[in-house]
Amino acid sequence: MPGAANPAQDVGDPVTQAWMLAHGYALAGSSYSTTGWAIAQALPDQISTLNAFDSTYGQPKTTVAWGHSLGGIITAGLL
Amino acid sequence: MCGVLSGGVATWNTALDGAFAFQHQVPVLTMHTTGDGLIVPENEQAYRSVVDRAGHGDLLRQVFVNRAGHCAFTPAETITAVQTLENRMSTGQWDVPSPAAMNAEAAALGPQYNIFAGGSSVVPTAPAFISYTPARYLRPFDLFDRTGSQPLFPVPVGHAR
ipTM of the assembly? 0.87
> Taking the model in full, what pTM does it have?
0.82
User: Phi/psi zone of residue B71: left (φ > 0), alpha (ψ -120 to 50 degrees), beta?
Assistant: left
Q: Nearest-CA distance from A17 to chain B in Å?
A: 9
- A72, B26: Cβ pair inside 8 Å? no
Furthest C-alpha separation in chain A: 40
- A19, B79: Cβ pair inside 8 Å? yes
In a domain, B161, yes or no: no
- B78, A43: Cβ pair inside 8 Å? no
In a domain, B155, yes or no: no
At position B128, the amino acid (one-letter code) is A
In a domain, B88, yes or no: yes
In a domain, B128, yes or no: yes
In a domain, B154, yes or no: no
Nearest C-alpha neighbor of A14 from the set B113, B37, B32:
B113
pLDDT (0 to 100) of residue B125? 97
pLDDT (0 to 100) of residue B26? 85
In a domain, B151, yes or no: no
Cβ proximity of A34 and A43 under 8 Å: no
pLDDT (0 to 100) of residue B158? 42
E-strand spans in B14-110? 28-35, 60-68
> Is residue B161 over pLDDT 70?
no
In a domain, B31, yes or no: yes
Nearest by CB: B4 against A19, A44, A75? A75
Residue ranges making up the domain that contains B58: 4-8+21-144
Q: Nearest-CA distance from B7 to chain A in Å?
A: 4
Confidence category of residue A76, pLDDT binned at 50, 70, 90: confident
- B26, A13: Cβ pair inside 8 Å? no
Q: Which residues of A touch B115 (CB under 8 A)?
A: 15
User: How many domains does chain B divide into?
Assistant: 1
In a domain, B149, yes or no: no
Ordered alpha helix ranges (H), A1-79: 14-22, 39-57, 70-78
